[in-house]
Amino acid sequence: MLRRLCLNFVLGGKCYATGGKCALGAKGASVKNEALECKLHGKYDVWVLQDDNLLVTDLGFPSEEPKQCLALGINQRLAARIAAEKSEKLGRAVLTTQHRCFQCGSRFWMSEHDASETPEPGKRYFCPTCMRQESKQRIEERLGLRSSWCG
C-alpha cells in the first residue's frame, strides 16, 4: 500500500491545503493521510492534466501523465473546492473518476466499494448497494461476460 505523508502539513504555521491553521497543530506535520485523523484527510486527489483540465479522483495516479498535483489524500468536499477554484482560474473543465451505476443510475466512487473484497469487473459498473443485491451471475450477464459457446 502506498504510504503518503499528509500534504496538509504545517508550513510556516499554516495548513498547506487551506492556508489556515492546521487542525492538528504541530502534530499535523507527521500525520499520515490513511490515519484519517484530520477532517481534511480522505481518499481523493486533485490533478492538473496535460490539457489543463482538472481531475478529481479516488483511484490514485491518473493514467494520463498529469502536469501538476494540487492535492493528495484529501476529503471529497475539499477536493471539489480546490478543483473548482483552479478550474475557474484556468477556464477549464473539472473531470472526475466517478461512475454511474448500470442498475440504479446513481453516481458512486470506486473507493465506496469495500477494499477488502476481491476485485470484480462489476465494481466499475455497479454501485456497492447493487453489487450486494445482485448475484454474481446476474452481474456478469448484464456486463456480457457470460455467453453460451457452441463448439
The predicted-structure confidence for 76-123, as pLDDT tens digits, reads as follows 998 999 999 999 999 999 999 999 998 899 999 988 887 766 667 788
Give residue 5's pLDDT band: very low, low, confident or very high (50, 70, 90). very low
The predicted-structure confidence for 23-68, as pLDDT tens digits, reads as follows 887 777 777 777 788 888 888 999 999 999 999 999 888 888 899 8
In sequence order, which residues have a C-beta less than 8 Å from that of residue 22 and are 6 or more positions away?
8, 9, 10, 14, 15, 28, 29, 38
Q: What are the residues facing 95 on neighbouring strands?
A: 55
Q: Where are the domains of the chain?
A: 10-96, 99-143
Q: What is this structure's pTM?
A: 0.76
In sequence order, which residues have a C-beta less than 8 Å from that of residue 69 and are 6 or more positions away?
45, 46, 47, 48
Give residue 1's pLDDT band: very low, low, confident or very high (50, 70, 90). very low
